[in-house]
Structure 1
Amino acid sequence: MSRSQQPVAEPAWFKSSYSGGNATECVEAAVVPAGVLLRDSKQPDGTRLAVSADAWREFLAVVIKG
């Protein structure tokens, strides 16, 4: 089997430690080689947003600064 035909493993999704326990509004993230994937935890098979590693770093820097 060639490398391009090997099945792709599902990314390891995680929720923020700031997520509430009521599961009403939560975004999940998964780190992948190209950056970060984001999805709605209530619709795990729905649309995923792919963000480059550079864009994710910039986003986090802004969030940390407040």
Structure 2
Amino acid sequence: MNNLIEKVVLIQGKGQIEQLEKRRDVMQFEELFARIESPSSTSAALRLFNVSNEELAATYKPSPTES
């Protein structure tokens, strides 16, 4: 009888751990999504595509395989 109770407790504990892990994953996703949608992230992404030729040229460095 005691062995059965231990098994039930283990199964319930495993289910609770799985639920906590799912909640943690959802929270991490929501946090990441909020950061992606933030105004600072949006403006940073837009800056990637709104660079002048001069700004882009200033960041260029040839790799060792290029002459």
Superposed pair shares fold, TM > 0.5: no
More helix by share: 2
Q: Which has the higher contact order (CA 8 A, sep 6+)?
A: 1
> The TM-score by the shorter chain falls in which range?
under 0.3
User: What TM-score results when the alignment is normalised by the length of structure 1?
Assistant: 0.24
More strand by share: 1
Asked which structure has the greater CA Rg, the reply is 2
